[in-house]
A and B are shown apart, each in its own frame.
Chain A
Amino acid sequence: MNRPVRHSLLLLLLASACFTLATLLQPRVATWGQRHAADSLMKVVLGDGRRLFANHFFVQADVTFHSGYYPSIFDRDQAPKGTRHLTASPEDHAEHDPDPASPGREKDEDHSGHACEMSFLGPPRDWIEAFGRRFMVTEHTHLKGGKEREMLPWLKISAELDPQRVETYTVASYWLRNLGKFQEAERFLREGLRNNPKSYEILFELGRLYNENLQDPNRARNVWELGVRCWDERESKKDKPDLLALDELTVHLADLEEKAGNLARAIEWLQRALRASPRPEAVQERIEDLQRRLAAGGSRPSP
């Protein structure tokens, strides 16, 4: 047997051994972990470590929203703490957000908190800092005129990296709705719901999409009611439940029922909201108003 034939046979033998070993090992490997069976490339490559990067990309969306004007970790240490801008809907959100049911108090607080947080650049301490500022973005602005779409890729990447981060879906959906991309918003929220089946936050956002944008109050009602059930399941036994979310869900449901002329049902939701709202007196006023209308025999839809 000449040398090339011998080498070929040896190669064939090694290939056969590899194949045999692979078939033997495959079932065992399947029990070692789930990474290989992951549905996304990020999960296969990075494993659970990908979650670390998810926050970076979420922040990157915020940086994009501010056109590069953003505090560094050093600035944020000094800046007052506040709720995250992208999720807190401050002044720019108010421009787009005609939602009458959104509690105004948070808006005001967030607005001033955000402005304060974003005024992280004090007077320059030395000439290097003063000169350096000429090369960086020093003006606090927000994207507008449809340019908000530029932050969406970062949110999508963040969601890919950490599908359990609910905030990403709700923020992205908010902006998708504002940009008129209702189908995309629904698809993204559904994706979020698949990854977070009990998320009342996503359900709330989905309900808003159906109610406000797709003009489908019945689906909105179903989704919000499911949201309340999920809230009960997840939050009711906690020492510090997320009352704000319950307040939003119930107030929106009450509005929906009021518009549909189901005043009794609306009162029921508002009575639920009474226990969750940070301004119970305002809710109580609404309940009384609805009760008066109900007593007057008005179960017709409100204008």
Chain B
Amino acid sequence: MNTVWALAGVVIKELYRRKDFYVLFVLTAVMTLLMGSITFFNDPRIASYLKDICLLLIWISALVIAITTTARQIPAERENRTIFPLLAKPVTRGQVVAGKFLGCWLASGIALGVFYLFFGVVSASREHDLAVIQYLQALWLHWVMLAIVVGLALLGSLVFAAPSSNATICFIVVLGILLLGRHLNQVALQQPEPLRTVVYSIYFLIPHLEWYDIRDLLLYDHPGLRWTDCLLATLYAGVYTAMLLLGAWLLFRRKPLHA
């Protein structure tokens, strides 16, 4: 486990030493504050539009950070040839996959924490109130969802040669699931056989990332989720991530490396 943590540590250092995170955070902050500086119809109490925009920017930024950070990990190790001194140490390929996953997930979590802190400050400063339970649930589920996204990008980095193509495909898949995943069963029912079965199978196979988007509950002061539902969603993400990591490990294990 020490090896996995060591590998994760390098990924986290990479996140805070590269400019990506800062650029995205500043961009989010500037856009939110810019929107916040506008007073619509002389009513300073209006807040949900600002929270909505801020959360949307956080979602986009978190996906960009998680996918781009993960997509470049193993290809960069190969391109810079650091994979060779790494695997020449008593490190297994499984540990590399686990370490990279843990690093990317924790790094995304740290970034997410900073973003949500900013959101909390914006929200509290406008409304002088914060639905703490919904806020924590939204943060937790968002982070849990990123575990699946990181797993997906890690698997993709072993399938696709270029990190850019992997990142693009991951973005399309993740956004596709977030926007359409919930409705695939409806789409399936409108199709003739055998397309119906194919679409329905896809619906059952894809990770349902849309569950983890509870922005509406947070924005419109709906009651929080039941903790058992949170737990079940976490379990689902855990199982799905484990499956993706297993796939990544199996692929990486078979991949010959030529120094």
Contacts and interface: CB of A to CB of B under 8 A. Distances in A.
B212, B219, B226 — most chain A CB neighbours (10 Å): B219
Contacts of B183: 72, 74
Contact of B41 (A74, A126, A135, A188): A188
Interface of B: 38, 40-43, 45-49, 52, 141, 182-183, 185-187, 189, 203-204, 208, 210-214, 216-217, 219-222, 225-226, 229, 232-233
Given A125-B185, A152-B46, A181-B41, A135 B222 contact: no
Q: Which secondary structure dominates where chain A touches chain B?
A: helix
B169 to A, nearest CB: 23
Contacts, number: 85
Contacts of B213: 135
A67 B46 contact: no
A149 B210 contact: no
Contacts of B185: 125-126, 128-129
A82 interface: no
A154 interface: yes
A252 to B, nearest CB: 25
5 contacts: A68-B222, A74-B186, A125-B185, A131-B232, A181-B42
A136 interface: yes
Contact of B217 (A125, A137, A149): A137
B226 A134 contact: yes
A134 B227 CA distance: 11
A150 B48 CA distance: 6
Contacts of B211: 131-132, 135
A129 B229 CA distance: 13
A184 B41 contact: yes
B101 to A, nearest CB: 24
B204 A134 contact: no
Nearest to A134: B229
A126 B38 CA distance: 44
Contacts of B225: 134-135
A53 B183 CA distance: 23
B49 A128 contact: no
Contacts of B208: 128, 132
A98 B118 CA distance: 43
Interface in A67-104: 67-68, 72, 74-75, 78
A129 to B, nearest CB: 6
Interface residues of A, number: 29
Closest 10 CB pairs of A and B: A68-B216, A67-B220, A153-B49, A184-B41, A150-B48, A74-B183, A153-B40, A135-B211, A134-B229, A68-B220
Contacts of A156: 40-41
Given A126-B185, A153-B49, A135 B233 contact: yes
B220 A128 contact: no
Contacts of B210: 132, 135
Contact of B222 (A64, A72, A75, A137): A137
Given A64-B48, A129-B182, 4 more contacts: A68-B219, A128-B204, A128-B208, A139-B222
A72 B232 CA distance: 25
A78 B186 CA distance: 10
B220 A152 contact: no
A72 B184 CA distance: 12
A176 interface: yes
Contacts of A131: 211, 229, 232
A188 B222 CA distance: 31
Contact of A128 (B42, B48, B203, B212): B203
A150 B47 CA distance: 7
Given A128-B204, A134-B229, A136-B216, A149 B43 contact: yes
A134 B189 CA distance: 22
B222 A74 contact: no
Contacts of B38: 153
Contacts of A150: 46-49
Contacts of B49: 64, 150, 153-154
A262 B232 CA distance: 70
Contacts of A132: 182, 208, 210-211
